[in-house]
Amino acid sequence: MCPRLDSAIVVRMTDLNRYTLAYVLSILESYVFSRPRSVLFVVREDVVQVVSKLAEEYRTVIVMYSLMTPQIFELVREFTELRRLRKTHDNILLVAGGPHAAGDPRGTLTRLKFDIAVLREGEITIPKLLDVILYRAGDLHEVPNIAFIEGNDVVITRFEICSNILSFPPCSERHGLYAPIEIMRGCRHACKYCQTPRLYNFRVRYRSLDYVYTWVRHYFRRGLKIIRFLAPNGFAYGSPDCKTPRPDKLERLLKTVHEACEGKASINLGVFPSEVRPDFVKREVLDIVVKYVSNRRLAIGVQTGSNRLLREIGRGHDVECVYEAVDLAIEYGFVPYIDLIFGLPGETEEDIEETIKLMRYLAQRGCIIRGHTFMPLPGTPYEKAPPGKIHPKYIPVLEELARMRRLEGYWREQEEIAQLIHRYLTSSDPLVQE
């Protein structure tokens, strides 16, 4: 029998996590390059069969997932089969990262049956974790930002921020993944339904202009014609408090991007995945943005038309600034795409009437409404809140907007997923059966 090779690192790719995986793969590719005894595999389907075969060939097989809460239910059978495979192959280790693992580390370990949860900052966490697993370089307690089971306890190691997020590319050359370039990480706002601020303890960091120039230039030379960015608020670049626009720094960013692609690529900012807050849609900001960007859509996160509910969910802006932002965006030639969340916790009929009033105004102004149903997410103040439901008063309005072609979104599907998430978060039963 041939001797086993050292280690295989298997990364599960899905349609929902490809942007995240571009960054994760850049970390892993750098790791594997410097340690030739490890081999990296990216698997899009038949993961159980692939892992089963690799477990016969390699001493250690690490299977890595990046998970968002809404997708765990469609992957439960896969998790279960991998866990059963692990019973006959003790060289398999299951590792989960992403927003779900960060928000619910205990459940990821005890209910989804992963061995280790990676909670944040993959740039420093993943290499240290792999060194411990593959080379016995220390023990798991010394690895920051992870959770694991020890005896009957769940151990969560120290929180550590990566001091240099500029060392890794936003892309995977080997796998042809060129993700939107991250320009901002974290958020200081405290929206109760959102995981992003809490992932990094309300800390915000910005990628340097040199980093942005380097990778925009790289993308352009690779033939990419559209340059996209990743940010919780696309217009907040350079803002020290994350609450006040810095048009001067935003202009330096956009000028840098323009120079890097020689003015020959389309620059997209303010659309997915770099949507903006309405209180950042200011004349002094749009004066700059309109000079550089190619997108004529502007995605604005509003969430509700009720001032009372905006205060309750911690948005930090009022409805009046939404009307102002919409009017300004249209004046500058943009079509506003407005995100609204139906069924937020504590939503009253009066709140619904205010939201419907806003929806009608937006439709009359030519905006597109992107409808969402509230889904409770782990690690947020609303994780145990009731799942969102579409109130009957919304239905005729949504139907009218659909006929007008002023409505987009997956609110129907999200209403069903919200129920699944709520049952998961309010139960302690394992989702994965061994």
Write out pLDDT tens, residues 338-374: 999 999 999 999 999 999 999 999 999 999 999 999 9
Distances (CA, A) of 355 to 23, 259, 413: 38, 42, 21
In the DSSP assignment, the letter for residue 4 is P
Q: 406 Cβ partners below 8 Å, 6+ apart?
A: 362, 363, 367, 368, 369
| Percentage with pLDDT > 90 across the chain | 89
Distance of CA 18 to the CA centre of its chain: 11
Task: Please check the confidence at residue 3 and state whether its pLDDT lies above 50.
Answer: no
Return mean pLDDT, the chain.
95
Average pLDDT estimate for 42-67: 96
Alpha-carbon distance 270 to 333, whole Å?
13
Question: 2 or 333: whose pLDDT is higher?
Answer: 333
- Mean pLDDT lowest for which of 11-20, 89-98, 244-253? 11-20
Average pLDDT estimate for 259-281: 97
pLDDT at position 1, please? 37
pLDDT at position 5, please? 65
Average pLDDT estimate for 267-278: 97
Average pLDDT estimate for 379-399: 97
- Give the model confidence (pLDDT) of 83-135 as tens digits: 999 999 999 999 999 999 999 999 999 999 999 999 999 999 999 999 999 98
Question: 36 or 304: whose pLDDT is higher?
Answer: 304
Alpha-carbon distance 321 to 277, whole Å?
10
Could you give the domains of the chain?
A: 5-156 (3.40.50.280), 171-425 (3.20.20.70)
| Conformational region of residue 145, where left means phi above 0, alpha means psi within -120 to 50, and beta covers everything else | left
- Mean pLDDT lowest for which of 23-37, 219-233, 308-322? 23-37
Task: Please check the confidence at residue 224 and state whether its pLDDT lies above 90.
Answer: yes
Confidence of residue 136 (pLDDT cuts 50, 70, 90): confident
Task: Please check the confidence at residue 34 and state whether its pLDDT lies above 90.
Answer: no
pLDDT at position 167, please? 78
Average pLDDT estimate for 17-26: 90
Q: 345 Cβ partners below 8 Å, 6+ apart?
A: 192, 312, 313, 374, 382, 385, 386
pLDDT at position 17, please? 86
Could you tell me if 350 and 306 are in contact, meaning their C-beta atoms sit under 8 angstroms apart? yes
Nearest Cα neighbor of 17 from 67, 64, 79 is 67
| Predicted TM-score (pTM) above 0.85 | yes
Residue with tokens 């609303």: 382
